[in-house]
A = this chain, B = another copy of it.
Amino acid sequence: MDLPSSVALSTLPGISRTRAASVFKALRDAGRFDVTLEEIVAACSPRAPAETVVAEARREAEILLERAAAARIEVVRWDAEFYPPLLRTIVDPPPILWVRGGVEILTRPAVAIVGSRAASPYALEVAGRLAAELADRNVLVVSGLARGVDGAAHRGCLAGGGSTVAVLGSGPDVVYPREHGPLAATICKSGALVSELGPGAPPLPEHFPLRNRLISGISLAVVVVEASEKSGSLITARCALDQGRDVMAVPGSVLGGRNRGAHALLKDGAKVVETADDILDDLGWRPSGGEQISSNSLSEDDLLQKLTPGETYDLDEMSATVGLSGSTLLSRLTEWELLQRVVKTAGGRYRLADSYGKGTRGGRIAGEGEDDQQISR
- CB of A30 within 8 A of chain B? no
Residue of B nearest to A259 (CB): B251
- CB of A274 within 8 A of chain B? yes
- CB of A260 within 8 A of chain B? yes
- CB of A230 within 8 A of chain B? no
Chain B contacts for A122, CB-based, 8 A = 253, 255
Chain A residues within CB distance 8 Å of chain B: 122, 125-126, 250-255, 259-260, 263, 266-267, 271-275, 278
Q: Determine the distance from Cα of A259 to Cα of B266 in the docked complex, in whole angstroms.
A: 16
Residue of B nearest to A251 (CB): B251
Chain B contacts for A266, CB-based, 8 A = 251, 266, 272
Enumerate the 4 nearest inter-chain pairs by beta-carbon distance, A residue then B residue, closest first: A251-B251, A254-B274, A266-B272, A267-B272
* A251–B263 CB distance below 8 A: yes
Total identical chains: 2
Q: Determine the distance from Cα of A252 to Cα of B274 in the docked complex, in whole angstroms.
A: 10
Residue of B nearest to A270 (CB): B272
Chain B contacts for A263, CB-based, 8 A = 251, 272, 274
Q: Determine the distance from Cα of A278 to Cα of B267 in the docked complex, in whole angstroms.
A: 10
Chain B contacts for A255, CB-based, 8 A = 122, 125-126
Q: Would you give the shortest CB distance from A164 to chain B, in whole angstroms?
A: 21
Chain B contacts for A273, CB-based, 8 A = 254
Residue of B nearest to A125 (CB): B255
Residue of B nearest to A225 (CB): B254
Question: Can you report 9 residue pairs joining A to B where beta carbons are below 8 Å apart?
Answer: A125-B255, A126-B255, A250-B254, A251-B254, A251-B259, A252-B252, A252-B253, A263-B274, A267-B272
Interface-central residue, A266, A267, A272, by most chain B CB under 10 Å: A272
Q: Determine the distance from Cα of A125 to Cα of B254 in the docked complex, in whole angstroms.
A: 10
Q: Determine the distance from Cα of A271 to Cα of B251 in the docked complex, in whole angstroms.
A: 13
Q: Determine the distance from Cα of A278 to Cα of B125 in the docked complex, in whole angstroms.
A: 28
Interface-central residue, A125, A251, A255, by most chain B CB under 10 Å: A251
Chain B contacts for A250, CB-based, 8 A = 254
Q: Determine the distance from Cα of A125 to Cα of B266 in the docked complex, in whole angstroms.
A: 22
Interface-central residue, A250, A267, A273, by most chain B CB under 10 Å: A267
Q: Would you give the shortest CB distance from A218 to chain B, in whole angstroms?
A: 25
Q: Would you give the shortest CB distance from A266 to chain B, in whole angstroms?
A: 5
Contact A126 to B251, CB < 8 A, known contacts A267-B272, A274-B260: no
Q: Determine the distance from Cα of A275 to Cα of B256 in the docked complex, in whole angstroms.
A: 12
Q: Determine the distance from Cα of A260 to Cα of B259 in the docked complex, in whole angstroms.
A: 18
Chain B contacts for A271, CB-based, 8 A = 267
Q: Determine the distance from Cα of A122 to Cα of B271 in the docked complex, in whole angstroms.
A: 23
Interface-central residue, A126, A273, A274, A278, by most chain B CB under 10 Å: A274
Q: Would you give the shortest CB distance from A239 to chain B, in whole angstroms?
A: 22
Chain B contacts for A274, CB-based, 8 A = 254, 260, 263
Given contacts A122-B253, A251-B252, A251-B254, 10 further A-B contacts (CB under 8 A): A126-B254, A250-B254, A251-B266, A251-B272, A252-B252, A252-B253, A253-B253, A266-B266, A267-B271, A267-B272
Q: Would you give the shortest CB distance from A278 to chain B, in whole angstroms?
A: 8
